[in-house]
Amino acid sequence: MAPNQTQFEQMVRAYSAELYRYAYWLSRDRFAAEDLLQEAFARAWKAWPELRDRTSAKAWMITILRNEHARGFARKQLDIVDQDPDELELPVVPSGAQGLEMEQMIRTLPLTYREPLMLQVLGGFTCSEIAGILGATEGAIMTRLTRARQALRGELLGAETRRSVR
């Protein structure tokens, strides 16, 4: 393992809980906070060699996290402006047949995505706890959770389209 990678992983382990709390405070949503943190870590990894003073890594990460949140907020503002007001309705919580459909969609996810998602949603475990349970890194778990949510979003949009065509 490269020294840069080892140092970066140590920084991630040392500050991930505090950074997650900050991301949650910014977004007020658990999943958005995880996505935000994942994006911030990805940006940080790309810029890691440029960081001269490793002792300021926490402040540097907070800045990246804040900037990433601002970028996401700007993208959402643009998306909202482009949308029709009728499309801004909140999704209905699935029940009955829709609940069964959701369960079937979750079952179609690959096990590598389904398992961490179920541990998080049903078990209430944090990313680090899931990583410990599954023997993976936190970064890998965050990626799997993001991909699982993206896949479900895509399936839900497809199901809504199919229902509206009927």
Neighbours of 22 (CB within 10 A): 20
Cβ atoms of 38 and 146 closer than 8 Å: yes
- Between CA 125 and CA 105 the distance in angstroms is 22
* Full pLDDT tens readout for the chain, 166 residues: 566 788 888 888 888 888 888 888 778 788 888 988 999 999 988 888 887 777 778 878 888 888 888 887 666 554 444 444 444 443 444 556 666 777 788 888 888 888 888 878 776 778 887 887 778 899 999 999 999 999 888 888 887 777 676 6
Q: Does domain 94-166 have CATH number 1.10.10.10?
A: yes
Distances (CA, A) of 101 to 44, 97, 119, 123, 163: 38, 6, 20, 21, 12
Place of tokens 């998306």: 79
Place of tokens 């023997």: 135
> pTM here?
0.45
Q: Which fold has domain 1-85?
A: Rna Polymerase Sigma Factor; Chain: A (1.10.1740)
